[in-house]
Amino acid sequence: MRQMNISFIGAGRVGDILSRALYSKGYKINIIVSTTETNGRKLAETVNAEWSASYEFSSIDDLIIVAVSDRSLQKVLSEINCSPDTMVVHTAGSFGLEVFENSSISRKGVFYPLQTFSKDRKIGFDGLPFLLEASGEEGYSLMEEIVKKLGSVSYRIDTESRKLYHLAAVFACNFTNYMLTSGKRITDLYHLPFDLLKPLVEETVNKAFEMGPENSQTGPGIRNDINTLNKHRELLSFDPELEKLYNMVTGSIFGYYNNDK
Amino acid sequence: MRQMNISFIGAGRVGDILSRALYSKGYKINIIVSTTETNGRKLAETVNAEWSASYEFSSIDDLIIVAVSDRSLQKVLSEINCSPDTMVVHTAGSFGLEVFENSSISRKGVFYPLQTFSKDRKIGFDGLPFLLEASGEEGYSLMEEIVKKLGSVSYRIDTESRKLYHLAAVFACNFTNYMLTSGKRITDLYHLPFDLLKPLVEETVNKAFEMGPENSQTGPGIRNDINTLNKHRELLSFDPELEKLYNMVTGSIFGYYNNDK
Taking the C-alpha atoms of residue A135 and residue A140, their distance in angstroms, rounded to an integer, is 8
Amino acid A119: pLDDT: 78
Superfamily for domain range A163-260: ProC-like, C-terminal domain (1.10.1040.20)
Interchain contact, A220 vs B170, CB within 8 Å: yes
E-state strands within chain A: 5-9, 28-33, 50-52, 63-66, 87-90, 107-113, 129-134, 153-156
- What's the gap in Å between the CA of B143 and the closest CA on chain A? 18
Q: For an interface test with A, which of B112, B153, B167 has the most A Cβ atoms less than 10 Å from its Cβ?
A: B167
Query: What pLDDT digit, counting tens, does each position of B6-61 carry?
Result: 999 999 999 999 999 999 999 999 999 999 999 999 999 999 999 999 999 998 89
Say if B240 is an interface residue toward chain A (CB within 8 Å): no
Contact A76, A57 (CB under 8 A): no
Say if A122 is an interface residue toward chain B (CB within 8 Å): no
Taking the C-alpha atoms of residue A63 and residue A86, their distance in angstroms, rounded to an integer, is 6
**b/e code B121-131 from CB counts within 10 Å (16+ = b):** bebebeebbbb
Domain B5-157 identical in fold to domain B163-260: no
Taking the C-alpha atoms of residue B91 and residue B111, their distance in angstroms, rounded to an integer, is 5
Question: Domain A5-157: which CATH class?
Answer: alpha beta
User: In which element (H, E) is residue B5 found?
Assistant: strand B5-9
Interchain contact, A176 vs B205, CB within 8 Å: yes
Taking the C-alpha atoms of residue A202 and residue B129, their distance in angstroms, rounded to an integer, is 13
∠ CA A24-A26-A29 to the nearest 5 degrees? 85
ipTM of predicted assembly, 2 dp: 0.93
Q: What is the pLDDT along chain A (261 residues), one digit of tens a residue?
A: 568 999 999 999 999 999 999 999 999 999 999 999 999 999 999 999 999 999 999 988 999 999 999 889 999 999 999 999 999 999 999 899 999 999 999 999 999 999 998 877 888 999 999 999 999 999 999 999 999 999 999 999 999 999 999 999 999 999 999 999 999 999 999 999 999 999 999 999 999 999 999 999 998 999 888 989 999 999 999 899 999 999 999 999 999 998 754
Amino acid A248: pLDDT: 96
Residue window 135-194, chain A: list those with CB within 8 Å of chain B: 155, 157, 161, 163-165, 167-187, 190, 192, 194
Interchain contact, A94 vs B174, CB within 8 Å: no
Amino acid B10: pLDDT: 97
pLDDT greater than 70 at residue B179:
yes
Dihedral angle over CA of B256, A179, A248, A189, nearest 10: -60
Query: What pLDDT digit, counting tens, does each position of B64-92 carry?
Result: 999 999 989 999 999 999 999 999 999 99
Contact A130, A152 (CB under 8 A): yes
Which residues in chain A touch residue B181, judged by CB atoms under 8 angstroms apart? 208, 213-214, 217, 256
Taking the C-alpha atoms of residue A100 and residue A96, their distance in angstroms, rounded to an integer, is 8
Taking the C-alpha atoms of residue B170 and residue A247, their distance in angstroms, rounded to an integer, is 12
- Candidate from B115, B192, B200 with C-beta closest to A200: B115
**b/e code A203-217 from CB counts within 10 Å (16+ = b):** bbbbbbbeeebbebb
- What's the gap in Å between the CA of A47 and the closest CA on chain B? 24
Q: For an interface test with A, which of B70, B126, B171 has the most A Cβ atoms less than 10 Å from its Cβ?
A: B171
Taking the C-alpha atoms of residue B5 and residue A99, their distance in angstroms, rounded to an integer, is 69
- What's the gap in Å between the CA of B106 and the closest CA on chain A? 26
User: In which element (H, E) is residue B244 found?
Assistant: helix B240-255
Tell which residue, B21, B155, B12, B115, has the closest CA to residue A206: B115
Interchain contact, B165 vs A196, CB within 8 Å: yes
CB pairs < 8 Å spanning A and B = 304
Interchain contact, A118 vs B216, CB within 8 Å: yes
Q: Which amino acid is present at B61?
A: D
Contact A118, B212 (CB under 8 A): no
- Read off the pLDDT band of B223 (50, 70, 90): confident
Query: What pLDDT digit, counting tens, does each position of B181-216 carry?
Result: 999 999 999 999 999 999 999 999 999 999 999 999
Interchain contact, B116 vs A184, CB within 8 Å: no
Contact A158, A82 (CB under 8 A): no
Contact B161, A142 (CB under 8 A): no
Tell which residue, B176, B181, B159, B169, has the closest CA to residue B115: B169
- What's the gap in Å between the CA of A142 and the closest CA on chain B? 22
Taking the C-alpha atoms of residue B50 and residue B204, their distance in angstroms, rounded to an integer, is 45
Query: How is chain B split into domains, by residue range?
Result: 5-157, 163-260
Say if B46 is an interface residue toward chain A (CB within 8 Å): no
